[in-house]
Structures are given as structure tokens and as C-alpha cells.
């Protein structure tokens, strides 16, 4: 299997611009997670989906952040408008119920907002 | 919020030495996981411990879950340069038993000097 695929790997954008991060989970996995990693705050859960339905978005920092999962093989995390403090590595991850609940992470999207 | 503190934050040792990394919390977890993250990649699961006092070995790595399920340790014997990376513990807070709401620790950045 190809693993969790994220795009773009790197993005540099100006403050105020819209940013869209994309994720393709591992085929057959029914959970999808979006995490954010920074030096100051470590790895934080933003939102997770089960069977394409958002279950818990309590980690989403503010209304500028939104996430969708229109089907089982695709999810997006959108930031609009972006701010410099949003600069971080954003990870998508997926897991399958019952298979030891192992979470598989993508390689991350490195976002820099200037 | 269940905070997981890891110590030390940074560790640099010579190849062949032994080391122990700690993960501590005031909260009880149903399970605890250890991940290793290499530069430019996402975290990769090493082990899951579930039972208080449980010890698991993975080649030169020994993982222990505290009796009260509030803390854990990772011991590496005869460290190798390939062990270099960021080590993250992650706890599954009660009453959850899946991995949907994993709380990640602050991380230990380990460097093994050849």
C-alpha cells in the first residue's frame, strides 16, 4: 500500500492567503486525523473523521480553519485567511478500526506563512 | 487536558551507550504508545503498552508502562546512529480505548554520535 499521501509537501504563502492541504488516507481505513506539529506546542490533534463524518473538531484553533472529507479517499484542511502563527507541519493520519488501532501518518505538509 | 511530559528534552550520547527516556503524567491512560519520528517524516509507531507494569521489548529497545498507568519509560541498550530521532510518547486518555484522542508528549530529541 502507498501509505498516507499528503500534498503539498511544502508551501510558502503570504499572510491573508487561503491555504488548502490535501490528504489521501490508506485504502480501507475508516478513521482520518489532522494533526499540527510545532516546536512550541508539539503534536496536536485538530480534527478527526470516522467514515467520512467529522467526529471531534475541538482541536481546530479557530474559525479560520476548516476540514472536509467528501469521500473515503480524500480530505482537505483549509486555512482562510492564513496568518504567520499558522506556520507548522500539518500531518494527516489514518487508521482502521480493530486492526490494533495503529495510526499511520503521512509525511506532512510544511506550511510557512510570511 | 492530559499533559504528557517527556524527559530529557534533548539527549546526545556516544554510540554503544545505554539511555532511558521518560514519559510522565498525572493522568491515567488506558494505553500508551511510543513513536519515533525522523526528519521530514511523520511519526512511526514503535509499540503500544496496555497493562500496568507491562514490559515490551523490541530488539534493543525496552518499553515499560508504569503500574498506575500514568507513566512510561523507553530504554535503549547499545545505542546505534540509526536510533537517532524524535521519540514521542502518546497516551490514550480514559475513558477512551481507541486511539481517536491520543495526547502526544513533548518529545525527546535523541542524537547518537558515531
Please, what is the average pLDDT of chain A?
94
Among A101, A108, A109, most B C-beta atoms within 10 A, so best to mutate, is: A101
Pick from B42, B101, B107: CB nearest A105: B42
By Cβ distance, the residue of B48, B98, B104 closest to A43 is: B104
pLDDT band, very low/low/confident/very high, at B20 (cuts 50, 70, 90): very high
Judge: B100–A31 Cβ closer than 8 Å, yes or no.
yes
Chain B residues touching residue A100 (CB < 8 angstroms): 48
d(CA B71, CA B110): 19
| Cβ pair A23, A92 in contact under 8 A | yes
pLDDT of A62 reads 86
Cβ contacts of B98 on chain A, cutoff 8 Å: 97, 101
CA atoms within 13 A on the CB side of B38: 6
Q: Confidence class of residue B74 from pLDDT cuts 50, 70 and 90?
A: very high
Q: E-strand spans in chain B?
A: 5-7, 10-14, 19-24, 29-37, 44-49, 55-58, 61-65, 71-76, 85-93, 103-104, 108-113
Mean model confidence pLDDT for chain B: 92
Nearest residue on chain A to B39, judged by CA atoms? A107
In this prediction, residue A99 has a pLDDT band, given cuts at 50, 70 and 90, of low
Mean per-residue pLDDT, B37-51: 94
**Residue for cell digits 488548502?**
A20
Q: Select from A42, A50, A103 the Cβ nearest to the Cβ of B45.
A: A103
* pLDDT classification of A1: cutoffs 50, 70, 90: low
Supply the pLDDT for residue A40. 87
CA distance A5 to chain B (A): 11
Residue B106: name the closest of B82, B90, B83 by CA.
B90
Closest listed residue to residue A22, CA positions, set A35, A6, A38, A11: A6
Q: Is B99 or A28 the better-scoring residue by pLDDT?
A: A28
Query: How does pLDDT run across A33-43, given as a tens digit for each residue?
Result: 999 999 888 99
Which residue of B41, B101, B106 is in closest CB contact with A45?
B101
Q: Report pLDDT digits (tens) over B85-104.
A: 999 999 987 776 677 788 89
Amino acid at each position: 500500500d502507498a501509505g498516507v499521501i499528503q500534498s503539498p509537501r511544502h508551501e510558502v504563502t503570504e499572510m491573508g492567503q487561503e491555504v488548502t492541504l490535501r490528504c489521501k488516507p490508506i485504502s480501507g481505513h475508516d478513521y482520518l486525523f489532522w494533526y499540527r506539529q510545532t516546536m512550541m506546542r508539539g503534536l496536536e490533534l485538530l480534527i478527526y473523521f470516522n467514515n467520512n463524518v467529522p467526529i471531534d473538531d475541538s482541536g481546530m484553533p479557530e474559525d479560520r480553519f476548516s476540514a472536509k472529507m467528501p469521500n473515503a479517499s480524500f480530505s482537505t484542511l483549509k486555512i482562510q485567511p492564513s496568518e504567520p502563527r499558522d506556520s507548522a507541519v500539518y500531518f494527516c493520519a489514518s487508521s482502521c478500526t480493530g486492526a490494533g488501532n495503529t495510526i499511520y501518518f503521512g509525511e506532512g505538509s510544511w506550511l510557512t506563512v510570511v | 487536558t492530559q499533559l504528557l511530559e517527556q524527559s530529557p528534552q534533548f539527549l546526545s550520547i556516544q554510540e554503544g551507550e545505554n539511555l532511558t527516556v521518560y514519559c510522565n503524567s498525572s493522568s491515567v491512560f488506558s494505553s500508551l504508545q511510543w513513536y519515533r519520528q525522523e526528519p521530514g517524516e511523520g511519526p512511526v509507531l514503535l509499540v503500544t503498552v496496555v497493562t500496568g507494569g507491562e514490559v515490551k521489548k523490541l530488539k534493543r529497545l525496552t518499553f515499560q508502562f508504569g503500574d498506575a498507568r500514568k507513566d512510561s519509560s523507553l530504554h535503549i541498550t547499545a545505542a546505534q546512529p540509526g536510533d537517532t530521532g524524535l521519540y514521542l510518547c502518546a497516551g490514550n486518555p480514559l475513558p477512551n480505548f481507541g486511539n481517536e484522542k491520543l495526547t502526544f508528549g513533548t518529545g525527546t530529541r535523541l542524537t547518537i554520535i558515531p
